[in-house]
Amino acid sequence: MRTLKMNYSTNLTWKRSPAADVAARVQQILNAEKLSVPLNAVSRVVEMCRGDIRQVLNFFQMTKTEDCNSLNYDEAKARYVASPGFVSEGRGTFVF
């Protein structure tokens, strides 16, 4: 077994995309999927998911599978807080 030297490995760094960019991209995906959600609700879900686009898309996928074609801000808040993965401690307090 060879040791990893500088010739064989590279340090990669990355930073999270800004929440506004994630919200805009998620909004495009929701429009393509014909799910009507206002941008303020999308932005808030992105904030609550800490910019993790995978978690945001899973949340809206769950919403879509419940035969819901539109979602307003209050409904998004209620569904997110009621979702099984919601944790109000440890990752910060989520306040709508």
Q: Which pLDDT score is estimated for 36?
A: 85
* 75-89 pLDDT tens trace: 777 766 666 555 444
Q: Which pLDDT score is estimated for 35?
A: 84
DSSP 8-state secondary structure symbol assigned to residue 70: B
DSSP 8-state secondary structure symbol assigned to residue 90: S
> Would the pTM count as exceeding 0.75?
no
Q: Which pLDDT score is estimated for 92?
A: 43
The domains of the chain, with CATH numbers, are 19-76 (1.10.8)
Q: What's the rounded Cα separation, in Å, for the pair 26 and 8?
A: 37
